[in-house]
């Protein structure tokens, strides 16, 4: 099955070409939807076949590199289009194509009637094609090609409804913001890639990582390489200070939010750090920075999520917070725990976004949860699945989020510091609170919408079936990572262990056998989550006056959180407006108008002056022309005679 890896890449590309070139002529939503969905379902089936074959092989024989063709051969730079199949890449492929398939099927119902239906599926397929290149590549350059590809597709998908307004601007502005902010991070990735090539003479993973194993821990060159790569990760995976694009990315259709901001694009930074684990293991200072940035981002975004009323904005800040959790894990050397949370997060966050899409669909594009309420009797399937996802992300056992979240908290405590654990635990408590604030205000309590004009209803089967499947995965998805302390042996960690073996040797993390401490911390984190859920239900079901009272008592704090710490305003005042002013005064009025325009205008005036002189010669009188000819002949003859 390994030889069929090219089909995993080929099917989404074919889906993009068919819908992109012929979608407007097909004129059938059903056909376009089937083509677009099949282009992702088929790669998922191929990936499942490879995964089954991989499980039947010894751990040391599971890695294969399949070369398709030579891409670049220029001197010492040799880059093939080659795909690496190992435990890490097959995990990411299964997540991308598995969750991606469900989102494509959901989109058939969600996008029904949209005039750009075929174009939407073409963009989705192109995105999956780019993402699969990112996770399957065997070298940094092909990874970067996929990295840039998902950035391009995010621009196309976020701005898909380009003729609509979004908050105070348009969806096109949100798409441009995402594209530009990601380019800032990508510049760091690009510089890191240049430094990798100058240091190791190659961009292929095997060559780079095998050479890196001989470097000393704390090497300054490795430090700069990893810092630059992490800059790229902060952009793609929405970490401080480059997280600002992701909340605005909610301008796109809801399936886009589920695909890009739950299971695929935003996890690219996590994957890149994990793939380069040996490099990061050699740079303890970078690892510390990653852990701190991840913890700070998780806490920071969670506080903003406490007060948001847009159903998708709450989930957007939740995504930023959960990504911070994953980076916290990577920063303390728990790459497997970070990837475990990446997988479980893909299940329940995709479910939350798709459930939110069903609500928005039923409420005729209304997204303010303060204008909802009592929807569970109209949308029972959506409510039940959404409730399951909320429990999972809150870390309630035995759902998937409990095992992955607890693994990160435990690793942060033993391999990081108690402070990191405290920040993570507080973040988990806030997550549980704002998620059940969202559930309660949306589905429970009194109906706060106009029942005369709005008639909510359950979504069609094409939308609810993916919700049910994701709900099941949110329940059972964590069972493959039951920790040793609970008698599970953590099969997820065992499966990925060979990928991170070299990094683990470089980090030399101490062995801990403290089951009692782990049980205690586990119990505390569950108690915090359960208490937060109960408090949220109490406040927003029985004592709705408490929330309003807190906002009135602490107006400054509420305003700070409501306005998202004014980060966008600060960026606008400190960066955007000065650049715009400089462009206007220096580049436009200074260079464009005074230099370029004046140079061109002066040249045109000079040509006009000369033409005025020569125009007088063109009198239209034949005798005058004959006289000029004769004068010219006499001048030439005189010149020849004299000289």
pLDDT by residue (tens digit) across 235-251?
A: 999 999 999 999 998 98
pLDDT by residue (tens digit) across 284-303?
A: 999 999 999 999 999 999 99
Per-residue pLDDT for 261 more than 90?
no
d(CA 634, CA 500): 93
pLDDT by residue (tens digit) across 160-185?
A: 988 888 777 788 999 999 999 999 99
Residue 162 lies inside a defined structural domain of this protein:
no
Shared-domain flag, residues 540 and 578: no
Shared-domain flag, residues 365 and 397: yes
Q: What is the pLDDT of residue 543?
A: 86
Banded pLDDT at 511 (limits 50, 70, 90): low
Shared-domain flag, residues 487 and 603: no
Structure tokens at 21: 């070139």
Query: Exposure string (b/e) for 74-88, b if CB count within 10 Å is 16 or more?
Result: eeeeebbbbbbbbbb
Structure tokens at 371: 């204008």
**Model pTM greater than 0.85?**
yes
Structure tokens at 99: 């969750």
Shared-domain flag, residues 474 and 364: yes
Q: What percent of the chain has pLDDT over 90?
A: 67
Q: What is the pLDDT of residue 510?
A: 61
Shared-domain flag, residues 466 and 613: no
Shared-domain flag, residues 491 and 610: no
Residue-range definition of the domain harbouring residue 460: 338-507+520-562
Angle between helices 400-411 and 461-476 (to 10 degrees): 40
Shared-domain flag, residues 343 and 464: yes
CB 460 within 8 A of CB 109: yes
Per-residue pLDDT for 513 more than 70?
no
CB 330 within 8 A of CB 274: yes
Shared-domain flag, residues 496 and 602: no
* Closest alpha carbon to 40 in 466, 522, 556: 466
Banded pLDDT at 559 (limits 50, 70, 90): very high
Q: What is the pLDDT of residue 502?
A: 86
Residue 80 lies inside a defined structural domain of this protein:
no
Residue 447 lies inside a defined structural domain of this protein:
yes
| Mean per-residue pLDDT, 432-442 | 95
Residue 450 lies inside a defined structural domain of this protein:
yes
Banded pLDDT at 509 (limits 50, 70, 90): low
Structure tokens at 397: 């056992």
Residue 150 lies inside a defined structural domain of this protein:
no
d(CA 215, CA 213): 6
Q: How many residues does the chain have?
A: 643
Q: What is the pLDDT of residue 585?
A: 83
Shared-domain flag, residues 613 and 467: no
Residue 79 lies inside a defined structural domain of this protein:
no
Query: Exposure string (b/e) for 448-468, b if CB count within 10 Å is 16 or more?
Result: ebeeeeeebebbeebbbbbbb
Residue bearing the bigger pLDDT, 586 or 406: 406
Q: What is the pLDDT of residue 415?
A: 83
Per-residue pLDDT for 364 more than 70?
yes
How many domains are there within the chain? 2
Q: What is the dihedral of CA 296, 354, 265, 572, to 10 degrees?
A: -60
Shared-domain flag, residues 438 and 581: no
Residue 151 lies inside a defined structural domain of this protein:
no
Shared-domain flag, residues 542 and 402: yes
Shared-domain flag, residues 527 and 581: no
d(CA 350, CA 634): 92
Q: What is the pLDDT of residue 245?
A: 93
């Amino acid at each position: 099955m390994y030889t069929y890896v090219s089909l995993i890449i080929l099917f989404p590309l074919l889906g993009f070409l068919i819908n992109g070139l012929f979608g407007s002529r097909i004129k059938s939503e059903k056909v376009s939807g089937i083509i677009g969905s099949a282009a992702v379902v088929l790669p998922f089936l191929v990936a499942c076949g490879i995964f089954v074959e991989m499980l039947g092989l010894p751990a040391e024989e599971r890695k294969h590199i399949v070369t398709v063709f030579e891409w670049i051969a220029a001197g010492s730079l040799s880059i093939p289009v080659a795909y690496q199949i190992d435990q890490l890449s097959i995990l990411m492929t299964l997540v991308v194509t598995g969750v991606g398939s469900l989102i494509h099927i959901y989109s058939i119902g969600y996008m029904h009637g949209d005039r750009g239906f075929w174009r939407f599926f073409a963009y989705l397929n192109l995105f999956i094609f780019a993402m699969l290149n990112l996770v399957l590549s065997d070298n940094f350059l092909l990874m970067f090609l996929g990295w840039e590809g998902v950035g391009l597709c995010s621009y196309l998908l976020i701005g898909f409804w380009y003729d609509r307004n979004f908050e105070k601007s348009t969806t096109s502005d949100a798409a441009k913001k995402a594209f530009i902010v990601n380019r800032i991070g990508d510049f760091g990735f690009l510089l890191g890639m240049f430094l990798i090539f100058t240091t190791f003479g190659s961009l292929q993973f095997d060559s780079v990582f095998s050479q890196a194993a001989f470097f000393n821990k704390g090497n300054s060159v490795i430090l700069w390489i990893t810092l630059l790569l992490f800059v790229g990760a902060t952009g793609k995976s929405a970490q401080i200070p480059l997280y600002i694009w992701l909340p605005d990315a909610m301008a796109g259709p809801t399936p886009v939010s589920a695909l890009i901001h739950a299971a695929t694009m935003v996890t690219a930074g996590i994957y890149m750090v994990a793939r380069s684990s040996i490099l990061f293991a050699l740079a303890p200072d970078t690892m510390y920075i990653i852990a701190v940035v991840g913890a700070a981002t998780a806490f920071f975004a969670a506080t903003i999520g406490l007060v948001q009323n847009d159903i998708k904005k709450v989930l957007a800040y939740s995504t930023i917070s959960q990504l911070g959790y994953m980076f916290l894990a990577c920063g303390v050397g728990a790459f497997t725990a970070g990837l475990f949370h990446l997988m479980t997060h893909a299940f329940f966050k995709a479910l939350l976004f798709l459930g939110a899409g069903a609500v928005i669909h039923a409420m005729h594009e209304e997204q303010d949860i303060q204008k909802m309420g009592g929807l569970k009797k109209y949308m029972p399937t959506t409510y039940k699945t959404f409730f399951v996802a909320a429990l999972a992300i809150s870390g309630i056992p035995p759902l998937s989020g409990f095992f992955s979240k607890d693994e990160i908290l435990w690793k942060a405590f033993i391999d990081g510091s108690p402070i990191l654990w405290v920040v993570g635990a507080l973040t988990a408590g806030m997550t549980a609170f704002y998620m059940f604030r969202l559930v309660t205000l949306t589905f429970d309590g009194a109906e706060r919408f106009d029942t005369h004009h709005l008639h909510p209803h359950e979504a069609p089967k094409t939308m609810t079936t993916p919700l049910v499947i994701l709900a099941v995965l949110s329940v059972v998805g964590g069972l493959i990572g039951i920790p040793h302390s609970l008698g599970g042996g953590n099969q997820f960690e065992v499966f990925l262990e060979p990928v991170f073996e070299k990094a683990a040797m470089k980090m030399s993390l101490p062995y801990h056998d403290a089951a009692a401490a782990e049980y205690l911390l586990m119990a505390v984190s569950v108690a915090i989550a359960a208490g937060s859920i109960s408090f949220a239900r109490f406040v927003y079901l029985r004592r709705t006056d408490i929330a309003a009272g807190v906002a009135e008592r602490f107006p400054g704090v509420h305003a700070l959180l409501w306005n998202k710490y004014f980060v966008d305003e600060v960026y606008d005042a400190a960066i955007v407006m000065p650049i715009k002013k400089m462009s206007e005064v220096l580049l436009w009025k200074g260079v464009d108008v005074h230099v370029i325009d004046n140079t061109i205008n002066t040249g045109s005036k000079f040509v006009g002056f000369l033409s005025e002189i020569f125009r007088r010669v063109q009198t239209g009188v034949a005798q005058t022309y004959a006289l000029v000819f004769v004068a010219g002949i006499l001048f030439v003859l005189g010149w020849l005679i004299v000289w």
